[in-house]
């Protein structure tokens, strides 16, 4: 394997004595799609939360392209090029679809944010903040150019989902169907062209047709070389999409390998399904 | 030693108040801002039973327990139950409104004067181990201990107690297991309010006088003690109460009685800064839901086109030439309060932070400009600019450490900050003239012309409001507006999109406080005198009520709200005493029935459209 893009080493988190994530390690190479699967409560979402900085890891390290992410805040991690979606879909209800996706661009935007290096430094960051507020009020040529460019990027991102989002671009996202909210969220995560896209159950609550659509879109992304880390219950989708699969149980990694290995791994079948011999029908059962 | 004992005595009453705060927080996950008022009602009822009806102590305590317990039940059913699944911020504002109603209702019933609380006990002193004990102190500590032990037994040993513990650990899970969560919440309100009422009687006996206005301070002391111990932790509430009592007693012994307030607010702020989870608690790592969310969301502000804005502005200017000086003086006040409320539009409406102490920023602005003009002979405009700047800097610094936290913590910290600033104005006489206030504040001038006539003052305030409103509208429509919306609705999602939420919350607060500071400078020049009492909690209440009434998300909402809330009471001058009660009732009704304010599309439309869509989808 080439030099990993993301390297997770010995990640650990406990909630009051309960070790939810216990010594989890895995690597993701550039362009690779890695899925994390496991029974409910096995620590999948917590692992994603630790990697993306939503929760603080107690031990371990997460290296993204040579930079340590543990100890950084979620917004810094997003700026480092890791963007994510959430298990239950967290769109911003009172913004339109377009505005939601524009929010995703905050991870990379530079125009209208002068002195950005001062951010995060107490007191001094106010120079940058106040300048940003002033530019937001007065407007600037750079900001206008950026705004046009941003709109074009948003349109491209929405077009990825065919006719699902584009006609609704100016609807408030609280009026959207559940599936469309998930799509909006994926668009928001993708618009900043992240180095790695982290998806927490992107097809949860979607019917088989919608799931198939998302699978096609994710396959297209993969073909375009997008690195992805994915938590998902629908094993069909996982098996089709993933280059490698990491299986968690009880906070531990119990298996890791290419889909065909995982499909036949005794421990995985045991942990994931509780009994043997039903692996083949697992996809349909959980879909 | 006597100081320690005094601290233990007041500490035990704080513990009782804090227990109520923590109990309700644990079970319902809201900070009950009406708790101090319940305490004050308990004290007044205690006075009424003891002195007017001449009942003995044990009967007084029992009657107060029953009546404040019932009051708690009423609060639960009137203010909280109807809000059901509304975001916690609605409940927070509802309890705040109930507090105002109770405080001012009891003010109207019992009168504003301080009453002498009758001696219900033979007072005798005896000595033991070098302590001098009074029976009174012993009884107070004794009653507090009995209450704490009874509560501990109830929570620890009974079936209902187990239900309370289960509910505070995980409401949804408790519901799944068949625990009647709503009844448990109602029960927690009854117990908490009864404890508050008992504390009221004890404090009344201890200081031997009571008045309806003691509630606010007691409430903040309760929050401070509960937060110090750890919100939601009952043991923590007792520990925090005793610690706060002792700290205050020593502070008062060394620095005099005026230090009491500063210590309370200081403790609350320090805890929120350093260890917001308190000594025995912890701020939950993952919060399930964003605090504001769809509460204000169901109403979209109506848009005003540029030419409508121009028409309104011309009409506003035209008003100066067609009406009487009296009307214009009122209108100038409306503009000043509207400008003041614009600070809430930015902080609350845009960034979603419910701040309850904006009177502090207004006070800093008013004092800065007044002092610069009267003591340093600065002209008006530099003082005006300085007012906004100083208000922004001081407020921002005082509240800065709080932005890591969310929801209730922000509201409590800003409440404390506002009260802290008013207390400072009172306690720094060398700078602020203390309670006497600043007199003879000059009127503004413009290019050498003094602006003192009513039409001119009105025009000035109107122009300042319009400029501020345009600025705010522009901010709201800009990139920053989008960033604030993301932070307001879902901080976690915003952070994961690369937004540094703390910085942008602080920025909104800074901008809002600057606007409040400008309003303060105008306020000082319009009234020509200021004193600390003007900047009490009621002014912060007014700011909140104005924007909730007018609509939080559009600058024009601030104007509409201010026009209604400032002008209408002017018309009904003879009912001036009822004004705050009216604000409280109005605020409560708005939260229950029209949280998005007047200036927004009717919620019905917004609620029906998504429902129809959903039906369509499920039908297809």
Length of chain A: 287
Rounded-to-integer distance, Cα B209 and Cα B216, Å = 16
Report pLDDT for B293: 38
Look at phi and psi of residue A248 and say left if phi exceeds 0, alpha if psi is from -120 to 50, else beta: beta
Report domain B313-604's class: mainly alpha
CA distances from B134 to B98, B202, B257, B543 (A): 37, 14, 21, 45
A234 min Cα distance to partner chain B (Å): 23
pLDDT band at A110; cut points 50, 70, 90: confident
**Which is more confident, A53 or A122?**
A53
Rounded-to-integer distance, Cα A238 and Cα A259, Å = 8
Q: What is the mean pLDDT of chain A?
A: 87
Is there a contact between B546 and B359 (Cβ–Cβ < 8 Å)? no
Residue from B294, B349, B497, B608 whose CB has the most chain A CBs within 10 Å, to mutate: B497
Sheet with A67-68: list strands edge to edge.
A18-28, A6-15, A59-64, A67-68
Report pLDDT for B283: 58
A117 part of contact set with chain B, CB < 8 Å:
no
Farthest-apart Cα atoms in chain B, separation? 84
Report pLDDT for B123: 62
CB-closest option in A55, A93, A104 to B497: A104
Block means of pLDDT (10 residues each) for chain B, length 620 residues? 83 91 85 90 91 84 92 90 73 87 89 78 62 74 88 86 82 81 88 92 85 85 88 86 90 80 83 79 50 44 76 86 88 94 93 90 96 92 96 92 80 87 86 87 84 89 94 91 90 90 93 97 93 87 86 87 84 76 85 73 50 52
A-chain CB neighbours of B490 within 8 Å are 90, 92
Is there a contact between A4 and A66 (Cβ–Cβ < 8 Å)? no
Residue A174 has what DSSP assignment?
G
Report pLDDT for A228: 95
Report the candidate in A195, A252, A251 with the shortest Cα–Cα distance to residue A225: A195
Q: What are the residue boundaries of the structural domains of chain A, listed by start?
A: 1-81+194-287, 93-193
Is there a contact between B61 and B201 (Cβ–Cβ < 8 Å)? yes
- Angle in degrees, CA B101, B105, B109, rounded to 5: 175
Do residue A132 and residue B494 have CB atoms under 8 angstroms apart? no
Is there a contact between B37 and B219 (Cβ–Cβ < 8 Å)? yes
Chain B residue closest to A150 (CA)? B479
CATH 1.10.3470 fits B2-274, yes or no: yes
Q: Roughly what angle, to the nearest 10 degrees, separates helices B325-344 and B358-375? A: 120
Report pLDDT for B220: 86
B-chain CB neighbours of A54 within 8 Å are 286, 492, 495-496
| Residue A24, token pair as written in the block | 């989890």
CA distances from B71 to B35, B41, B53 (A): 11, 9, 21
- How far, in whole angstroms, is CA B574 from its chain's centroid? 27
Rounded-to-integer distance, Cα B521 and Cα B457, Å = 13
Q: Is the dihedral of CA A161, B496, A145, B306 positive or negative?
A: positive
Enumerate residues 165 to 194 of chain A having a beta carbon within 8 A of any beta carbon in chain B: 172, 174-175, 177, 188-189, 192
Rounded-to-integer distance, Cα A226 and Cα A190, Å = 10
Do residue A86 and residue B492 have CB atoms under 8 angstroms apart? yes
Q: Are strands A252-257 and A18-28 parallel, antiparallel or unpaired?
A: unpaired
Element at B37 (helix H, strand E): helix B35-47
User: What average pLDDT does range A31-59 have in this prediction?
Assistant: 91
Chain A residue closest to B480 (CA)? A136
Question: What are the phi and psi torsion angles at B23 (to 5°)?
Answer: -60, -50
CB-closest option in B489, B507, B511 to A93: B489
Rounded-to-integer distance, Cα B243 and Cα B263, Å = 12
Residue A202 has what DSSP assignment?
T
Residue from A136, A178, A205 whose CB has the most chain B CBs within 10 Å, to mutate: A136
Rounded-to-integer distance, Cα B569 and Cα B575, Å = 8
Rounded-to-integer distance, Cα B564 and Cα B462, Å = 16
Is there a contact between B47 and B270 (Cβ–Cβ < 8 Å)? no
Is there a contact between A229 and A115 (Cβ–Cβ < 8 Å)? no
Q: Is the pLDDT of residue A195 over 90?
A: yes
Do residue B496 and residue A83 have CB atoms under 8 angstroms apart? yes
The answer to ipTM > 0.95 is no
Residue A58 has what DSSP assignment?
S
Enumerate residues 212 to 241 of chain A having a beta carbon within 8 A of any beta carbon in chain B: none
Is there a contact between B39 and B197 (Cβ–Cβ < 8 Å)? yes
Report pLDDT for B190: 93
Do residue B613 and residue A175 have CB atoms under 8 angstroms apart? yes
Domain A1-81+194-287: assigned CATH number: 3.40.50.300
Look at phi and psi of residue A38 and say left if phi exceeds 0, alpha if psi is from -120 to 50, else beta: left
Is there a contact between A184 and A91 (Cβ–Cβ < 8 Å)? yes
Is there a contact between B212 and B112 (Cβ–Cβ < 8 Å)? yes
Report pLDDT for B257: 76
CA distances from A250 to A38, A49, A274, B109 (A): 9, 16, 13, 62
Q: Is the pLDDT of residue A100 over 70?
A: yes
A92 part of contact set with chain B, CB < 8 Å:
yes
Chain A residue closest to B301 (CA)? A94
Residue from B350, B351, B468, B498 whose CB has the most chain A CBs within 10 Å, to mutate: B498
Q: Which residue has the tokens 């409104």?
A: B97
Residue from B291, B471, B479, B617 whose CB has the most chain A CBs within 10 Å, to mutate: B479
Rounded-to-integer distance, Cα B513 and Cα B448, Å = 29
**Which range has the worst mean pLDDT, A108-112, A212-216, B266-270, B551-555?**
A108-112
Alpha helices (runs of H) in B323-447, residue ranges in sequence order: 325-344, 358-375, 380-399, 408-427, 429-432
Torsion (CA) B250, B254, B259, B265 in degrees, nearest 10: -40
Report pLDDT for B53: 84
A-chain CB neighbours of B489 within 8 Å are 92-95
Task: Tally the C-alpha atoms within 13 A of residue A266's C-alpha that lie toward its C-beta.
Answer: 0
A63 DSSP β-pair partners:
A7, A68
Rounded-to-integer distance, Cα A31 and Cα B518, Å = 55
A-chain CB neighbours of B472 within 8 Å are none
Do residue A99 and residue B489 have CB atoms under 8 angstroms apart? no
Chain B residue closest to A143 (CA)? B479
* B313-604 matches B2-274 in CATH topology: yes
Please give the full DSSP string across B262-277, using - where no structure is assigned: HHHHHHHHHHHHH-TT
Is there a contact between B290 and B429 (Cβ–Cβ < 8 Å)? no
Task: Tally the C-alpha atoms within 13 A of residue B100's C-alpha that lie toward its C-beta.
Answer: 27
Residue from A103, A108, A147 whose CB has the most chain B CBs within 10 Å, to mutate: A103
Report the candidate in A181, A206, A200 with the shortest Cα–Cα distance to residue A96: A181
Element at A19 (helix H, strand E): strand A18-28
Residue A59 has what DSSP assignment?
E
Residue B418's contacts (CB-CB under 8 Å, 6 or more residues apart) are B356, B357, B358, B359, B360, B535, B537, B540
Report pLDDT for B612: 53
Report pLDDT for B410: 86
Alpha helices (runs of H) in chain A, residue ranges in sequence order: 44-51, 74-79, 97-104, 125-138, 141-159, 178-190, 208-223, 235-241, 259-264, 266-273, 282-286
A-chain CB neighbours of B478 within 8 Å are 136-137
Rounded-to-integer distance, Cα B591 and Cα A156, Å = 41
- What percentage of chain A reaches a pLDDT higher than 70? 94
Do residue B492 and residue A90 have CB atoms under 8 angstroms apart? yes
Farthest-apart Cα atoms in chain A, separation? 66
DSSP helix/strand/coil, A64: strand
Rounded-to-integer distance, Cα B519 and Cα B338, Å = 9
Report the candidate in A40, A28, A21 with the shortest Cα–Cα distance to residue A201: A40
Q: What are the residue boundaries of the structural domains of chain B, listed by start?
A: 2-274, 313-604
A102 part of contact set with chain B, CB < 8 Å:
yes
A-chain CB neighbours of B300 within 8 Å are 94, 172
Report pLDDT for A285: 44
**Which is more confident, B72 or A88?**
B72
Report the candidate in B157, B35, B165 with the shortest Cα–Cα distance to residue B103: B35
Rounded-to-integer distance, Cα B283 and Cα B319, Å = 52
A256 DSSP β-pair partners:
A246
């Amino acid at each position: 394997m080439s030099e990993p893009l993301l390297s997770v080493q010995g990640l650990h988190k406990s909630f009051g004595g309960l070790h939810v994530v216990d010594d989890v390690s895995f690597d993701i190479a550039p362009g690779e799609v890695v899925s994390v699967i496991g029974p409910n409560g096995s620590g999948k979402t917590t692992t994603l939360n630790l990697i993306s900085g939503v929760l603080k890891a107690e031990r371990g390290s997460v290296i993204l392209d040579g930079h340590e992410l543990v100890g950084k805040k979620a917004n810094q991690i997003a700026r480092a090029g890791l963007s994510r979606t959430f298990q239950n879909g967290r769109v911003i209800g009172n913004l339109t679809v377009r505005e939601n996706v524009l929010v995703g661009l905050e991870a990379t935007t530079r125009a209208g944010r002068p002195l950005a290096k001062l951010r995060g430094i107490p007191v001094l960051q106010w120079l940058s903040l106040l300048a940003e507020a002033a530019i937001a009020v007065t407007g600037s040529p750079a900001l206008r150019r950026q705004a046009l460019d941003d709109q074009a990027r948003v349109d491209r991102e929405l077009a990825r989902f065919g006719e699902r989002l584009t006609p609704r671009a100016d609807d408030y996202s609280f009026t959207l169907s559940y599936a469309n909210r998930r799509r909006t969220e994926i668009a928001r995560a993708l618009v900043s062209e992240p180095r790695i896209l982290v998806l927490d159950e992107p097809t949860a609550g979607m019917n088989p047709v919608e799931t198939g659509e998302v699978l096609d879109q994710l396959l297209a992304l993969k073909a375009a070389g997008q690195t992805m880390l994915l938590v998902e219950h629908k094993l069909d989708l996982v098996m089709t999409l993933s280059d490698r699969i990491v299986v968690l149980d009880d906070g531990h990694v119990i298996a890791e390998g290419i889909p065909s290995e995982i499909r036949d791994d005794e421990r995985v079948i045991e942990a994931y399904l509780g009994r043997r011999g039903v692996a083949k029908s697992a996809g349909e059962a959980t879909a | 030693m006597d100081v320690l004992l005094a601290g233990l005595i007041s500490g035990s009453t704080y513990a009782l108040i804090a227990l109520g705060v923590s109990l309700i927080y644990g079970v319902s996950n809201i900070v009950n801002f009406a708790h101090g008022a319940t305490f004050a009602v308990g004290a007044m009822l205690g006075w009424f039973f003891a002195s007017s009806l001449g009942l003995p102590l044990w009967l007084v305590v029992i009657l107060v327990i029953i009546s404040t317990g019932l009051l708690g039940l009423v609060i639960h059913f009137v203010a909280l139950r109807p809000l059901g699944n509304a975001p916690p911020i609605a409940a927070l504002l509802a309890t705040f409104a109930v507090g105002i109603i109770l405080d001012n209702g009891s003010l109207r019933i019992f009168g504003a004067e301080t009453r002498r609380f009758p001696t219900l006990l033979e007072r005798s002193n005896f000595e033991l181990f070098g302590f001098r004990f009074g029976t009174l102190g012993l009884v107070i500590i004794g009653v507090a201990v009995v209450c704490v032990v009874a509560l501990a037994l109830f929570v620890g040993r009974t079936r209902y107690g187990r239900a309370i513990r289960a509910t505070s650990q995980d409401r949804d899970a408790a519901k799944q297991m068949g625990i009647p969560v709503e009844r448990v919440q109602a029960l927690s309100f009854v117990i908490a309010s009864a404890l508050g009422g008992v504390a009221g009687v004890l404090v009344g006996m201890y200081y031997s006088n009571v008045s309806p206005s003691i509630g606010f301070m007691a409430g903040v002391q309760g929050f401070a003690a509960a937060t110090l111990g750890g919100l939601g932790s009952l043991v923590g509430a007792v520990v925090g109460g005793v610690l706060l009592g002792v700290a205050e007693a020593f502070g008062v012994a060394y620095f005099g009685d005026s230090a009491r307030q500063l210590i309370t607010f200081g403790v609350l702020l320090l805890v929120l800064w350093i260890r917001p989870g308190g000594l025995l608690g912890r701020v939950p790592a993952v919060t399930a839901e964003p605090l504001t969310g769809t509460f204000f969301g169901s109403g979209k502000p109506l848009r005003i086109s540029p030419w409508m804005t121009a028409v309104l502005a011309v009409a506003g200017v035209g008003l100066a030439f067609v009406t009487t000086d009296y009307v214009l003086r009122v209108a100038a006040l409306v503009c000043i309060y509207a400008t003041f409320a614009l600070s809430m539009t930015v902080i609350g409406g845009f960034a979603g932070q419910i701040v309850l102490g904006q009177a502090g920023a207004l006070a800093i602005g008013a004092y800065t400009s007044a002092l610069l003009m009267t003591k340093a002979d600065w002209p008006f405009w530099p003082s005006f600019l300085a007012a906004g700047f100083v208000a922004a800097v001081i407020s921002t610094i005082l509240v800065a450490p709080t932005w890591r936290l969310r929801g209730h913590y922000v509201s409590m910290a800003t409440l404390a900050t506002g009260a802290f600033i008013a207390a400072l104005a009172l306690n720094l006489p060398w700078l602020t003239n203390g309670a006497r206030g600043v007199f003879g504040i000059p009127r503004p001038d413009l290019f050498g012309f003094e602006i003192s006539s009513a039409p001119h003052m009105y025009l000035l305030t109107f122009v300042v409001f319009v400029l501020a409103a345009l600025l705010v509208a522009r901010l709201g429509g800009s990139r920053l507006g989008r960033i604030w919306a993301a932070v307001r609705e879902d901080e976690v999602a915003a952070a994961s999109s690369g937004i540094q939420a703390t910085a942008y919350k602080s920025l909104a607060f800074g901008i809002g406080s600057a606007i409040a500071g400008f309003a303060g400078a105008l306020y000082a020049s319009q009234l020509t005198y200021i004193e600390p009492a003007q900047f009490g909690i009621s002014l912060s209440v007014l700011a909140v009520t104005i924007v909730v009434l007018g609509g939080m998300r559009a600058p024009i909402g601030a104007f509409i709200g201010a026009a209604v809330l400032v002008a209408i009471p002017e018309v009904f001058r003879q009912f001036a005493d009822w004004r705050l009660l009216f604000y409280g009732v109005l605020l409560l009704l708005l939260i229950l029935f029209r949280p998005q304010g007047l200036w927004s599309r009717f919620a019905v439309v917004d609620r029906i459209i998504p429902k129809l869509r959903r039906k369509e989808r499920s039908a297809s």
